[in-house]
Structures are given as C-alpha cells and as structure tokens.
Structure 1
Amino acid sequence: MLQLLTPQPARHPAPTVHAQSLAFLIFERPDLAEAEKFLMDFGLHVAFRSEDELYFRSAGSDPYCYRIVRGEQARFVGFGLSVAERSDLEKLTSLAGASDIEDIQGLGGGAFVQLRDPSGFTVQAVWGRAAVTPLPHRAALALNQGDTHPRINVTQRPAIDPPEVLRVGHVVLEVADFQATCAWYTEHFGFIPSDVQVLPDGSPAVAFLRLNLGDTPADHHTLALAQGFMPCYSHSAFEVIDTDAVGMGQRILRERGWTHAWGIGRHILGSQIFDYWQDPWGDKHEHYCDGDLFSADIPTGIHEVNRAAMAQWGQPMPASFTKPKISTANVVGMVHSLRHSPDLSIRKLITLAKLFG
C-alpha cells in the first residue's frame, strides 16, 4: 500500500474557519481588451468595466468570479474564498500578515480580510456578497443511452455559441514550499485532501484539496497544490452543463484562433471531462463537467504520480502542459527555491522532469 511520508497533506482537527466556496480569481493583465476577447469566447460575461478593471461573471448567482486589474506584467495574483459568517473574518484577522476587516468597494458588496499564503499568493476571505439573478442557460441534453431512451422523435442541436459557464470550480497552483503552503490551507480554511499523488520517495507531488462542508457534498477539489520549483499558477477550471458544452467550447475557441492546451478527456482523480485552453498570455483555463462530489467523511486516497495517471481516456497529457515558462525571473526563482525551500532538491527536480518532461 502506498504511504505518504510527509506530514502534509492531512486534514486539520480544528481549522480556524471552514471556507464555503471558491469566490473569484484575481489576475493582472497589460491588455484588458485582449483579456476580454478571450474570456467572452470562453463563456464568461462582463459584469463591470472601467479603464483599469474588468469583472466577469458566470451564469450563477455570484456577482463576479473573475477580476482583472490592469498591470504592466501579466500575472496571477490570487483568489477569493467565501466564509459562512462575519465572525469567520474576525478569526482570520488574528493570522500573521492579515488585514483588518474591510468593506468590499465594488460589485456585490460585503466584507473581506486579505491574507498572503506561505507561497506569496493573495487570498481574500469574503463574506456577505449580495447574490445576483442567475443568467438563463440551457438544460443538460437528454441522452439516449443503452436501455434508456428519453429522446424520441427529437433531435439534438445545441447552439453554436460559447459554452455557458456555470461557475468557477477550482484553481491549481504550483508551489516550492509545499508542506508549509498545504498546512496553511488545511489549518486556516479547513481544506481536506481528497487524493494525493506521491513521488517514488513517498513525498507529495500533487494534493487535490476539497472543502469541508460536512454532510453536504463538495467538489473533489476546489484547490490543488503541485510540487514545483517556484510559486506559479497552473490553471483554473470552470464548470459547464454537460459534455456537449465542453465540445462546443473546443469548437468555438478553435475557430476563433485560441491556443489549445490539452483535451478532450476524462480525469482519473476527480473524474471530470475536461478541455484546456490558453489565454493570450499562455495561462491555462479549463472547461469541465461531471466532476466527483464527496462528503467530509471520505478518507484520503494515495496514488503514484505519472503522466498516465492524469486521464482515463483522451489524448495523453502533452509535455507542453507542464513545461515551465523559461525566463530570467524563473531561473532566479528556481535557484532561490533550491537554496531555501526544505521541500526541494536537485534530485526531486530531476524526478519531476523525468515524470512530466
């Protein structure tokens, strides 16, 4: 039986708070018009626009799920996690580096506390955002399968439009300081490891972390952390209604000239049917449907990590999917991490390169 030979990932017995959902993502972009073009083709809708900011919403009831701030460099800043009570914000203000409770000056209102995780990503804990009216979207298509034939004398003709994104589902980050970062999220936001992929030495390579919602089923992962050589964004994922919506997304994005990253396929861990696309700066965005849901009592699974373990069917994961961006800053970051991170070594980097290179 595979064993995890490091303290993390592990659920914490008494977290500071229990996060309730992934609220939004935050990016900086030098060209807001180009960012808008991609995200509209991807299936999001502009909720607010100014000279220096763009807010996008899904078809769901959140006021926005994607925020872009104008910046000189294209970069991922962080994300928001919703909490259940204002008192949760008060608890979080006691953490090192936390801001005071501040009112949200923008869409949805409410209040937030801003924190920074051990890998340097911004995390905004938010409470009290006002819901908006959901946008209309088509129902999942009725499928004739085997002995079940719900569709008689009726054809299937979904509209040839960008897929209707229902919500932001999860975000995946690469980190150098894996143990400290994973411990921070399990201790302070109550994340539970659903599945962990381990290297041959038993150390974690990827942890898929779900929300602890008790008996209420939660997505297999809302946050995933991967061992890398420096902190960076891997991808974010957005739920659509069904497989046809995933396929229609591929058609639309391909016809409109965007760069495909990987898919269509079905993941092994999480079971999602997926398709990945790159935005104008090469950052990956995923359409998915049919993901697993777990209640809090389901234990953690431990698995060997390898490229074949990433998908049940479909195109094998291309080497370009995990290939790091080569830049002076990244080389400097890798050297810094090798010198200072207790979770990294030359041997581990070589192992990761052989597995995914």
Structure 2
Amino acid sequence: MIRSLQYMALGVPDLAPGADFYETFGLSVENRADHLAFRCKGRDQDQIVLVETGKSRRFHHISFGADAAGLDAVANRLKARGGALLPRPFAGAPDGLWFHDPDGHLVNVQVAEAAPQTPEPAILVNSPGLTPRSGVRGCPTRALPTNPRRLGHLILFTPNVPRKMNFYREVLGMKVSDTLQDEYGAFLRLSGDSDHHVIGFLNSPAPGFHHASFEMASIDEAELAAGKLFAKGYKHAWGPGRHAIGSNYFHYFRDPWNGMCEYYYDMDHIPAQCDWEAIDWTKKDGMFIWSADGPPPPDFGRNYEID
C-alpha cells in the first residue's frame, strides 16, 4: 500500500543546534513558518523535519507516501482495528491520514511518491584478476562532494517489537525482511521494490528514536563526510563497519540530543516478487560483520528519550 518513506520529524527544544548539525551532515535547510525542513541537495523532498516543542527531544512523527487507492486501504484497515484519525499536528504538516501507532508514535500517510533520483554511474573497483579501472587513479580528492542522496530508513525504539511490527504490516502493508532474536528487533520494507528496510524497531522499556540513515555514493564519500563532522566536534558513535542485516556499510554520529544519524552505502535491494527469506539473527551476527570499533558501544542501544 505505502510506496515511499517521505520524511521523519523530531520535536526538539531548540532548532538552532539541529540546523548546524544537519547542515554539517550534508543536508540543505529550509526555514519555514512553524518548522525547519532538511533536504538532500538537488532533491525535491523533505527528509528531516524539526519542530520546536520547548521540551527535551522526542520523536514527533513519520510520513509515508501512497497513491489514492493505498490511502483508502490504510484508512479502511485502521478503521477495522478501531484506530482514530487525528488532525494535522501543525499548520505546515502535510495533508492525508494522521493516526497513532501502538506506541503512540504519530504516523502520516499522504498521497505522494518518492522524488526521483538521478542514476549515477557505478564506481569502478579493481579486484583480484579484474581491473575495470585501468590507467585511471581511483583515489578521490579531498574536494569530493559529500552530500547524502536520500533518507533510506529510520529505527525506532519500542517496548513491544512484535506488536509494533504487526501494526506496520497489517495497516501499512509492509513486509518483514529480517529480525533479531528474542524479539529484540525487526526490519521492514515497502511492499513493492524496496531497500532491505525503510523502518526498523529495537526493544526498549519505552518508545523513542534511535537513528536516521542516509545513503551515500561510496565509502570515500561517507568517510570524507565523517571528517567534516569530526572537524565541527560532533561525537562519533560507531563505525565505520558493515552490517549483516541489510548488508550496508555504516558510520554513525550522535546528533545534538544523543539520537544518531548514519551514513550508509550498498544496501540490499529486494524486488517486489522476490522470494526473500527473513533470518532471525543473533544480535552479534546481525548487527555487524566487522567494525573499526569492534562491537557497538554500550550506549548504542540506549533510549535517550527515557532520561
């Protein structure tokens, strides 16, 4: 039913630190009447929205895109479960359906599709016995642009992973790609052609925001971008490394409120008709194959919205 992840929103005590962080991260900012919106440069789609709430940082809402038939299907499924439709949370919020998921997280489904991406030529990589890049230097310069291409996924905390997972499957029509053992985590994709996951859930005593993840075009881009965050004093969280779940390379940084933002590259893609087999991974094997840091730090799974 839903066909795209549109954007995610955080409620924050002060917009200015968010503007500095996300601009340093590589996004463009738009200052609007009642919120800040951040976009990937050259792409006409909000990806992060910040709303000033005067309180500590909290996850505010998530927005998905659907066609008109999909919107009606979501409304009917929600009604069958006894779910209530809500008004827009602020004047600048999009139209469409607004409702709460089982954790009270606000969800929007609007008639929209993902803004198109310009296909980029594959990076030529030499490997043993194969030299597709011959007579050309492979090392980029430090001036290589480091702009994220799109918001690929976000991860939320929940006190009940199966309940949250089933709501997004049954109401929004999403599919489960992989899980973590002992009901610790679940990773869901769109029902059509999709990245391995566009949303995921991790167990915690209370709901909250874990991280947002942005696609880069290469490991070089991701790590040169990371250097800009280091130069501004932003806190490294974990990486670089490679996940098993989704297969993507990763590098995480803390935002000003101890949430996280991730650069990723080379995510698994699952066609709509693919007979994909979901694996119930152990935490260790699912979270990383390798990392420059070794295992994730002790606070990687900490829900700072509880504090």
Report the AA paired with residue 76 of structure 1.
Answer: F
Q: Does 1:260 align with 2:236?
A: yes
- Offset from partner CA, 1:203-241 (integer Å, 9 cap, x none): x2111111110xx3x111111112221111111111111
Distance 1:146 1:106, change over 3 A: farther
| Match in the other structure for 2:53 | 71
Question: 4+ runs of 1 displaced by more than 6 Å?
Answer: none
Distance 1:82 1:130, change over 3 A: closer
| Match in the other structure for 1:339 | none
Distance 1:302 1:143, change over 3 A: closer
CA–CA distance in structure 1, aligned partners of residues 278 and 32 of structure 2: 45
Report the AA paired with residue 239 of structure 1.
Answer: E
Distance 1:98 1:60, change over 3 A: farther
Distance 1:228 1:162, change over 3 A: farther
- Offset from partner CA, 1:157-185 (integer Å, 9 cap, x none): 24446621111011111111333221110
Q: Does 1:191 align with 2:168?
A: no
- Offset from partner CA, 1:6-27 (integer Å, 9 cap, x none): xxxxxxxxxxxx2111110111
| Match in the other structure for 1:342 | none
Question: Does the CA-based 8 Å contact 1:28-1:71 persist in structure 2?
Answer: yes
Distance 1:139 1:28, change over 3 A: farther
| Match in the other structure for 1:238 | 214
| Alpha-carbon shift at residue 60 of structure 1 (Å) | 6.0
Report the AA paired with residue 149 of structure 2.
Answer: L
CA–CA distance in structure 1, aligned partners of residues 5 and 164 of structure 2: 17
Report the AA paired with residue 45 of structure 1.
Answer: S
| Match in the other structure for 1:330 | 306
- Offset from partner CA, 1:231-265 (integer Å, 9 cap, x none): 11111111111111111122111112100100000
Secondary structure at the aligned position of 1:65 is classed as: strand
CA–CA distance in structure 1, aligned partners of residues 191 and 232 of structure 2: 39
Question: Does the CA-based 8 Å contact 2:178-2:281 persist in structure 1?
Answer: no
| Alpha-carbon shift at residue 312 of structure 1 (Å) | 0.8
| Match in the other structure for 1:269 | 245
Secondary structure at the aligned position of 2:240 is classed as: strand
Secondary structure at the aligned position of 1:269 is classed as: coil
| Match in the other structure for 2:129 | 147
| Match in the other structure for 1:305 | 282
Question: Does the CA-based 8 Å contact 1:111-1:128 persist in structure 2?
Answer: no
- Larger C-alpha radius of gyration, 1 or 2? 1
| Alpha-carbon shift at residue 196 of structure 1 (Å) | 1.4
CA–CA distance in structure 2, aligned partners of residues 34 and 137 of structure 1: 33
Question: Does the CA-based 8 Å contact 1:92-1:98 persist in structure 2?
Answer: no
Report the AA paired with residue 197 of structure 2.
Answer: H
| Match in the other structure for 1:53 | 35
CA–CA distance in structure 2, aligned partners of residues 60 and 168 of structure 1: 13
Question: Does the CA-based 8 Å contact 1:175-1:231 persist in structure 2?
Answer: yes
1:219 to 175, 180, 195: 195
| Alpha-carbon shift at residue 144 of structure 1 (Å) | 2.6
- Offset from partner CA, 1:79-105 (integer Å, 9 cap, x none): 11111x2233233334211247x8x97
Question: Does the CA-based 8 Å contact 1:174-1:232 persist in structure 2?
Answer: yes
TM-score (normalizing by structure 2): 0.87
User: For 1:1-357, what aligned pairs fall within 5 Å after superposition?
Assistant: 18-46=1-29, 48-50=30-32, 52-59=34-41, 61-73=43-55, 74-83=57-66, 85-94=67-76, 95=78, 96-99=83-86, 111-128=95-112, 131=115, 141-155=123-137, 156-160=139-143, 163-199=146-182, 204-213=183-192, 216=193, 218-296=194-272, 297-314=274-291, 315=293, 316-325=295-304, 330=306
CA–CA distance in structure 2, aligned partners of residues 148 and 105 of structure 1: 56
Aligned residues: 296
| Alpha-carbon shift at residue 294 of structure 1 (Å) | 1.4
| Alpha-carbon shift at residue 268 of structure 1 (Å) | 0.9
CA–CA distance in structure 1, aligned partners of residues 143 and 16 of structure 2: 23
Structure 1: gaps (5+ residues): 1-17, 332-357
Distance 1:36 1:262, change over 3 A: same
- Offset from partner CA, 1:262-294 (integer Å, 9 cap, x none): 000000111000000011111101000101111
Distance 1:115 1:300, change over 3 A: farther
Question: Does the CA-based 8 Å contact 1:196-1:300 persist in structure 2?
Answer: no
- Offset from partner CA, 1:284-309 (integer Å, 9 cap, x none): 01000101111344244333423354
| Alpha-carbon shift at residue 150 of structure 1 (Å) | 3.2
Alignment root-mean-square deviation, CA = 2.7
CA–CA distance in structure 2, aligned partners of residues 72 and 64 of structure 1: 22
Which stretch shifts more, 190-199 or 153-162? 153-162
Distance 1:251 1:212, change over 3 A: same
